[in-house]
Chains A and B, each alone.
Chain A
Amino acid sequence: MRVHADGLGRTLAGPPPRRVLDGLSLELPGPGVHAVLGANGSGKTTLLRLLALLDAPDAGELRFDGERVAGPRGVARGARRRATLVFDRPALLRGTVRWNVEFALRARGVPAAERPARLAPWIEPLGLGKILDARVDRISAGEARRAALARGLALGTELLLLDEPTANLDPLSAGLVEGAVAELCARRETTVVLATHDLAQARRLAGQVHFLAGGRIAQGGDAAAMLDAPRSTALAAFLGVENLFRGVVEDRGDHQRFIAPGIDWAVIAERPGPCWAALPARDVLVARDRPASSAMNAVEGTIERVEERGPTVLVVLAPPDREDAPAPRLTAAVTRATVQAMGLAPGQRAWLVWKAASVRLFDG
C-alpha cells in the first residue's frame, strides 16, 4: 500500500499542550520496511496512531493509495481495516494468547474456518508454540509482546505499524521479532512502518529510514546512506556520537589509519577511502599518564570542560593543535565516581585512550 502524508499536525492535550507533529510529510511508496527513527518523545507513537487512523490529525491529510483517509475533519473509520498498529505494550485482553488472536480475527470478520490458518505461520517464527494456550497474565513480558505481534501479523493488513517492537525485550525475543518482520518483508506484500530508536535495528531491517525530529521528518532516505552520513544536526545528535568526523581511511599494510584534519587514529577498516568515523564517548577512557595498554589510540591534551550528563560525565579534551590544522575536541564519558576519584577538572593535563575497534566507520 502506498501511504502519503502531507503536512500532518497534531497537538496533544496538556497541560501544557504539546505540538508533537507539525507539518509532517511522508511518502511510503509501497511494500517494504520503512523505519521511523527518533528519540523518545519525538512523536513516533503519535505518528503511528495517525497512520493507524486511531486519531485524527488537526492539520494536513493522509492518503492510502491516493484515497483520502484522514484529515482535520476526522478519519475514515472503514479504512482502519487496511492498517493495524502493534503497540509498544502488549495490550492483550484477559484470556489466552490464542483467544486474543481469535478475538482480533473475529472482530475483523475473518470466518472461523480461516482463523487458525492466519495464526499458524507465525507460531514458530515468534516462538509461541508453548504459550499459545497460556493465560496472558502467566507469560513473560517478552512473550506477551511477541503474542501481540502475532495478533497484528495474523490480521494480514496491507499496512502494519510497529511501535518499538523490540524495546525492553531480551536479545532472544528481539531476534525472534526481527526475524518475523524480515520474513513478512520477504513476501513483499506488506508496507511496514517500524518506529524505533534503535539505529542498528533500523539499519538491519529497513530499506528506507525517516528521521523524526521537531515534529517532522528531518531527514529521510536509503537506510545505509542516511545513517552513515547524517546531514542534519538533529540526526547527528540523535546518533549519540559525540566524536564524529569526516575523513579518509589509509591502509598501512598491517593496519589502517583514519586521517582527518587534526586526526590520525588507528582504526579497523575493511577498505581504504573516504568515510565517517564515529567514536562513542563511552568507549573512551581517561588516564592521568600515558597508559601502557593494548589500546592503539592515545591522545594527550588539556581538559577543557567537565559536563554532567545525567548519570555520566562528559570530559572534553583539547589536544594540542598541529601545524597543519587545529585539533578537534574529543569527548570521553565517564562516571561521576571516576571524576571524583581522579579529581578531573578543567585545565588539567590528561590522556584519552581508545581501541581501534571502538571507532565505527561508515562508508561515504
Chain B
Amino acid sequence: MGPFGRALELIGTLDSRVLEVVGLSLAVSVAAASLAALFALPTALALGLGRFPGRRALRAVVRALMMVPAVLIGLLAYLMLGRGGPLGALGLLYTPTAIVLAQAVLAYPLETALFLAAFEQVDPLLLDATRTTGGGRRWVARAAVRQAAPALFAAGLTGFARVLGETGMTMMVGGNITGETRTMTTAIAAETMRGAFELALALGILLLLLSLAVNVALLFLEPGNDARAR
C-alpha cells in the first residue's frame, strides 16, 4: 500500500491523530473568523452606511490592509505575544488562542471589505424606507444587516476558508505542538518535511474537501444573495 492508500486508511478509520488536528483546525478557524466578523461588521456598517469625512480614505486603507502578507502579521503577533513583548505576560504564544488572534487579524480586513461589498448591494431605497418609518441609525443598520445577511454569511465563510488554509503565520505563533497547536496546514507542512507523507496526504485530502464544501456552500448562498429590493 502506497502513501495515498495509507492516507485514505487514516481517514477511513477515523484515526485519532487526524481527528484531533482537524478538530483543532476547525475550532481555531471558526473562532478566528467569528472574532474578525465581530469587529468587521461595525467597521463595514460605519464605512458603508455612515456619512463622515475620510470615509473613502478609510475604505482604501481597508483594501490596502488586505494586501499585508500573513507572515508579517505572524511576526508582529510573535513580537506582541512573545515573552519580551507587551502582551508576553499573558503567556499566549504557542497556544490556540494565539492562533485565533493572529488569524482574526488576518481575516479582519478581508471580511470588512467583503461585508462592505455586501452592504453596497443593498438597495439604498430599503434603508430610506427604514429611515422614513422613523427609526434611527440603529434601525437602518439592522435593516441593512438583515437584507445583506446571506452575503454577510458568505463573507464570513470566505474569511474562514482564508484562515483555515493559512500556514506560515499559524506555525510562527502556534508552534505546531502536537496535541496542542497542530492545525491541518502546519501538520501537513511538518509531516511533509520529515518525509511522513501519509498523515500529510490524509490532512491534505480533508483540507481539500473542506475548501470544496465551503465553495459549494458559497455557490448555494449566491441566489439568496440577491439583496436588491423589488
Check B83 for interface membership: any CB of A closer than 8 A. no
Interface residue? B31 (CB, 8 A): no
Cross-chain contact A85 with B132 (CB below 8 angstroms): yes
Which residues of B have CB within 8 Å of A49?
128
Residues of B within 8 A of A84 (CB): 132-134
Binds B, one of A88-96, A219-227, A269-277, A350-358: A88-96
B125 touches A87 (CB 8 A): yes
Task: Give B138-177 as 1s and 0s: 1 = Cβ < 8 Å from A's Cβ atoms.
Answer: 0100110011010000000000000000000000000000
- The answer, yes or no, to whether B126 is at the interface (CB within 8 Å) is yes
Q: How far is the CB of A357 from chain B (nearest CB, A)?
A: 39
Residues of B within 8 A of A187 (CB): none
A202 CA to B135 CA in the complex, in Å?
31
Give every chain A residue within 8 A of B212 (Cβ-Cβ).
none
A-contact bits for B36-65, CB 8 A (1 contact / 0 none):
000000000000000000000000000000
Contact between A151 and B133, CB atoms less than 8 A apart:
yes
Contact check, B149 vs A80: say whether CB atoms are below 8 A apart: no
Q: B134 to A107, Cβ gap below 8 A?
A: yes
Are the C-beta atoms of A94 and B134 separated by less than 8 Å? no
Interface size in chain A (residues, C-beta < 8 A): 32
Q: Is the CB of A155 within 8 A of B134?
A: yes
Give the dominant DSSP class at B's interface: helix
> Measured between C-beta atoms, what is the minimum distance from A280 to chain B in Å?
33
In the complex, the answer to whether A108 meets B123 with C-beta atoms within 8 Å is no
Q: Are B134 and A80 in contact (CB under 8 A)?
A: yes
In the complex, what distance in Å separates the CA atom of A112 from the CA atom of B166? Answer: 48
- Given known A103-B143, A137-B230, contact A91–B128 (CB-CB < 8 A): yes
A136 interfacial contact with B, CB 8 Å: yes
CB distance from A71 to the nearest CB of B (A): 18
Residues of A within 8 A of B130 (CB): 93, 103-104, 107
Please tell me if B229 contacts chain A, counting CB pairs below 8 Å.
Answer: yes
Q: Is A361 an interface residue (CB 8 A)?
A: no
Chain A minimum-CB-distance residue to B124: A91
Measured between alpha carbons, how far is A54 from B127 in the docked complex, in Å?
10
> B139, A107: Cβ atoms under 8 Å?
yes
Residues of B within 8 A of A151 (CB): 133
Please list the 7 inter-chain residue pairs (A to B) with the smallest Cβ-Cβ separation, ordered nearest first. A107-B135, A91-B129, A81-B134, A104-B133, A107-B139, A108-B134, A85-B132
B-contacting residues of A (Cβ < 8 Å)?
49, 52, 54, 77, 80-81, 83-85, 87, 89-95, 103-109, 136-137, 141, 144, 148, 151, 155, 157
Given contacts A93-B129, A103-B143, A106-B135, 6 further A-B contacts (CB under 8 A): A80-B134, A92-B126, A93-B126, A109-B134, A144-B230, A155-B133
| 24 A-B pairs whose Cβ atoms sit less than 8 Å apart in the complex | A54-B128, A80-B131, A85-B132, A89-B125, A89-B230, A90-B229, A91-B123, A91-B128, A92-B129, A92-B230, A93-B129, A93-B130, A93-B143, A93-B146, A94-B146, A94-B147, A95-B146, A103-B133, A104-B135, A106-B135, A106-B139, A107-B135, A107-B142, A157-B134
Interface residues of B (CB under 8 A from A): 123, 125-126, 128-136, 139, 142-143, 146-147, 149, 227, 229-230
